[in-house]
């Protein structure tokens, strides 16, 4: 006899994404949609006992960089280890389409520099079976994933495609250039782009050191592209900016939204250069909302920082002559040398050749660098810093750092050090807490799939639950229902995905069953599973009992089931008919 449901999740504490109080209920799933929430009488072909567990919608991560990984991999890890069921890539203006054959290496170098994904990995992994952006989407549409994947048109690729060397050299776009970019943007939105991403920050550079091609793109160029999107009647704008002149920059973004009518989001972080600037930006967003404009900020929910390690891109000894002489040796050989008393003494006696080496510049002082433990602390206090440990022991901070690199973590040279940079100028996450209270803010900036040798923030969604709703001790926490709404419904709406983010009848059956009391982040570690055996940082979690995508269980207790129901998202998705009618 045919079962009434494909899946029934029984007796869980439902946090449905709408922001209301949790309630006990069953969730019935049929044909990839939520069929019933409440007391479900019929049986399911598969059932999950969720008694004592939290049942929440699947998380929507709107800021990832899986543009390359999605062309060779089926699993968008680490994001899918953390309850994420939808990812949006093409952020920060970097990506691989449109692209002429002669520009393949150029775009790879840009992604290598901006997002720290090694050239050999991308050169070997990318199939390049496209030139146009619609062709790139067609290539992705033939693939299957453990999450749904949405793509944005990357500005750097678009600019180089239209302008060639002039675009690379950041020359102003002509009217003809702008019209061509607008036409491509229109076609991209019609083909299924979620939106358009651009970068206006000096932090984004190609691996050869040159700034990203979009850095100084004029307002006329950005407006022209936005008007191309407006002609298609769809697509969101995504921006990362230094906000060197915050009033002028925000005013420009506001004018673009006013003219085009397209919604816009941008990255908002507390910068150590101007620790209070974020307050001004929040005020400007409130004014824009009062005027009926859709401008929102993506906020990182923990410090955006760098990990140092012997297996990683940099470590505190990267600029020391003795270490430079052994840096290309296998890890085991380096560890043996670093443990040798004579080599160790010589290394610790040396000065770094680079004045910006960790521990020397103000931005990388030892009182702001912390050992990364087996249970990561993303709101650490100065008394746990390398400087404090060194002072307590009466030794050189470099010696403390070296000991942790050798013996921390799983040992054998796999220890890591953590340097919080953005969102931590005052050694507290209080600014992030206040940003998260604002009604124009969503959690974002995980950069899942990127920064594979320095940063591992694809685990942000787990931090949102563990730290902000349960474990925080250095300030107020947030209600679980508020954070679930922010990570599910609010992020989905930000990018036009109105069919998900809620556990209500008719909505897409993306959901998580979570052992909330025992949910925890594991420490970052290194894997060598990219093309060519490339290295990357990964981070897992414990406590996700099941993750469901389109009604199919994709992960059980953190392990993949083999189900790959995820697909390329072709643009915005409408709300269920019942909801649309309401």
**What confidence score (pLDDT) does residue 581 get?**
41
Residues of the chain with CATH 2.30.40.10: 5-59+506-581
Would you say 189 and 229 are in contact if contact means Cβ atoms under 8 Å apart?
yes
The DSSP line for 103-156 is: GHHHHHHHHHHHH---HHHHHHH-----SSHHHHHHHHHT--BSSEEEEEEEHH
Q: What is the DSSP letter of 262?
A: -
> How far is it, in rounded angstroms, from Cα 188 to Cα 203?
27
Cα atoms in the 13 Å half-sphere on the side-chain side of 508 = 26
Can you tell me the mean pLDDT for 213-217? 97
Asked if 426 and 305 count as a contact pair (C-beta separation under 8 A), the reply is: no
What's the average model confidence in pLDDT over 195-223? 95
Predicted pLDDT at 356: 65
Strand residues in 214-354 grouped as ranges (E): 236-241, 264-268, 295-299, 304-309
Burial 367-394 (b: 16+ CB within 10 A, else e): bbbbbbbeebebbbeeeebbbbbbeeee
User: Measured between alpha carbons, how far is 142 from 71 in angstroms, rounded to an integer?
Assistant: 10
Give me the mean pLDDT over the 379-407 stretch: 96
Q: Any idea what DSSP says for residue 205?
A: B
pLDDT per residue over 36-61, tens digit each? 999 999 999 999 999 999 999 999 99
Q: Which of 295, 247, 297, 296 is nearest to 269 (CA)?
A: 297
- Could you report the per-residue pLDDT of 473-502, keeping only the tens digit for each? 999 999 999 999 999 999 999 999 999 999
* Residue 106: both structure tokens together: 């150029």
pLDDT digits (tens, 9 = 90+) for 509-551: 999 999 999 999 999 999 999 999 999 999 999 999 999 999 9
Residues 151-161: tens digit of each pLDDT: 999 999 999 99
Determine the topology of domain 5-59+506-581 in CATH: Urease, subunit C; domain 1 (2.30.40)
User: Phi/psi at 356 (nearest 5 deg)?
Assistant: -100, 20
Q: Which of 8, 17, 34 is nearest to 508 (CA)?
A: 34
Average pLDDT, the chain: 95
- Which pLDDT value is given to residue 150? 98
Res. 419: pLDDT tops 90: yes
> pLDDT tens digits, residue range 117-143?
999 999 999 999 999 999 999 999 999
The residues with which 553 forms a beta bridge, in sequence order, are 548
pLDDT on residue 1:
63
403 C-beta neighbours (distance < 10 Å), count: 17
Q: Per residue in 62-116, pLDDT tens?
A: 999 999 999 999 999 999 999 999 999 999 999 999 999 999 999 999 999 998 9
336 CB neighbour count, 10 Å cutoff:
14
Helix H or strand E encompassing 535: strand 534-538
CA 176, 177, 180, 182: dihedral to nearest 10 degrees? -110
Task: Look at residue 353 in the predicted model and tell me its pLDDT.
Answer: 78
Q: What is the DSSP string of 474-501?
A: SS----HHHHHHIIIIIHHHHTTBTTSS
**By percentage, how much of the chain surpasses pLDDT 90?**
94
Does the bond joining 98 to the residue before it have cis omega, within 30 degrees of 0? yes
Q: Give tens-digit pLDDT for 244-302.
A: 999 999 999 999 999 999 999 999 999 999 999 999 999 999 999 999 999 999 999 99
- CA–CA gap between residue 42 and residue 384 (Å, rounded): 54
Task: Tell me what pLDDT residue 264 has.
Answer: 98
Q: Can you give the pLDDT at residue 360?
A: 57
Q: Rounded distance, CA 545 to CA 11, Å?
A: 14
- Among candidates 517, 522, 497, 523, which has minimal Cα distance to 508? 497
Rounded (10°) CA dihedral 267, 269, 271, 277: 90
Specify whether the CB–CB gap between 423 and 432 falls below 8 A. yes
Q: Are 135 and 97 in contact (CB under 8 A)?
A: yes
| Residues in Cβ contact with 459 at an 8 Å cutoff, skipping those fewer than 6 apart | 78, 81, 82, 446, 521, 539, 541
pLDDT interval class at 582 (50, 70, 90): very low
Q: So what's the pLDDT on residue 365?
A: 85
Interacting residues of 394 by C-beta distance below 8 A, sequence separation 6+: none
Q: How far is CA 19 from CA 402, 483, 485, in A?
A: 46, 8, 5
β-pair type (511-514, 544-549): antiparallel
Q: Which of 68-77, 91-100, 312-321, 351-360 has the lowest mean pLDDT?
A: 351-360
Q: Which pLDDT value is given to residue 355?
A: 64
Residue 362 has pLDDT above 80, yes or no: no
Measured over the CA atoms of residue 18, residue 478, residue 298 and residue 523, the dihedral's sign is negative
Tokens representing 77?
A: 């890890």
**In angstroms, rounded to a whole number, what is the distance separating the alpha carbons of residues 121 and 114?**
15
Please give the model's pTM, rounded to 2 decimal places: 0.96
For residue 385 the two structure tokens come to: 């810093």
For residue 502, what are its two tokens? Answer: 């809620």
- For CA atoms 529, 531, 537, 539, give the dihedral sign: negative
Cis omega (within 30 of 0) on the bond before 194? no
The CA angle 534-540-545, to the nearest 5 degrees, is 140
């Amino acid at each position: 006899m045919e079962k009434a449901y494909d899946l029934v999740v029984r007796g869980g504490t439902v946090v449905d994404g709408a922001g209301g109080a949790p309630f006990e209920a069953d969730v019935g799933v049929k044909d990839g949609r939520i069929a019933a929430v409440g007391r479900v009488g019929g049986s399911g072909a598969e059932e999950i006992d969720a008694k004592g567990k939290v049942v929440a919608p699947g998380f929507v991560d709107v800021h990832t960089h899986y543009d390359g990984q999605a062309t060779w991999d089926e699993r968008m890890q680490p994001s899918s280890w953390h309850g994420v069921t939808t990812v949006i890539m093409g952020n920060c203006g970097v990506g691989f389409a449109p692209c002429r054959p002669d520009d393949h290496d150029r775009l790879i170098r840009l992604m290598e520099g901006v997002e720290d994904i090694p050239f050999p990995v991308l050169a070997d992994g990318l199939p390049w079976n496209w030139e146009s952006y619609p062709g790139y989407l067609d290539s992705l549409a033939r693939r299957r994933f453990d999450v749904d994947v949405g793509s944005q048109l990357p500005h750097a690729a678009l600019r180089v495609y239209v302008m060639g060397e002039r675009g690379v050299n950041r020359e102003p776009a002509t009217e003809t250039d702008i019209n061509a970019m607008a036409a491509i943007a229109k076609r991209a939105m019609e083909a299924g782009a979620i939106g358009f991403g651009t970068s206006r920050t000096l932090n984004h550079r190609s691996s050869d050191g040159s700034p990203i091609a979009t850095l100084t793109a004029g307002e006329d160029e950005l407006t022209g592209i936005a008007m191309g999107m407006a002609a298609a009647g769809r697509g969101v704008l995504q921006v990362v900016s230094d906000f060197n002149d915050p009033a002028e920059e925000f005013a420009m973004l506001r004018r673009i939204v006013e003219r085009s009518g397209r919604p816009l989001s941008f990255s908002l972080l507390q910068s150590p250069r101007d620790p209070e600037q974020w307050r001004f930006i929040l005020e400007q967003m409130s004014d824009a909302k009062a005027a009926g404009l859709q401008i929102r900020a993506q906020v990182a929910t923990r410090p955006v920082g760098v990990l140092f390690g012997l297996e990683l891109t940099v470590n505190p000894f990267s600029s020391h002559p003795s270490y430079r002489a052994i840096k290309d040796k296998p890890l085991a050989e380096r560890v043996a040398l670093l443990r040798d008393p004579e080599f160790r003494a010589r290394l610790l006696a040396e000065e770094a050749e680079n004045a910006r080496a960790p521990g020397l510049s103000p931005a990388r002082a030892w009182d702001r660098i912390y050992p990364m433990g087996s249970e990561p602390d993303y709101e650490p206090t100065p008394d746990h810093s390398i400087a404090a440990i060194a002072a307590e022991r009466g030794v050189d901070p470099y010696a403390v750092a070296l000991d942790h690199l050798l013996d921390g973590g799983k040992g054998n040279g796999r220890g890591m050090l953590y340097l919080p940079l953005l969102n931590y100028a005052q050694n507290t996450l209080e600014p992030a807490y206040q940003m998260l209270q604002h009604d124009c803010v969503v959690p974002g900036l995980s950069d899942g799939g990127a920064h594979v040798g320095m940063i591992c923030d694809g685990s942000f969604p787990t931090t949102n639950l563990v730290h902000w709703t349960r474990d925080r001790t250095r300030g107020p926490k947030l209600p679980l229902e508020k954070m679930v709404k922010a990570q599910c419904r609010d992020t989905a709406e930000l990018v036009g995905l109105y069919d998900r983010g809620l556990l209500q009848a008719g909505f897409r059956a993306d959901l998580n069953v979570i052992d909330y009391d025992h949910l925890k982040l594991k420490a970052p570690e290194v894997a060598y599973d990219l093309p060519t055996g490339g290295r990357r940082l990964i981070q897992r979690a414990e406590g996700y009992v099941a993750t469901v995508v389109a009604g199919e269980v994709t992960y059980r207790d953190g392990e993949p089931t083999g189900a790959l129901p995820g697909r390329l998202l072709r643009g915005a998705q409408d709300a269920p008919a019942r909801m649309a009618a309401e």
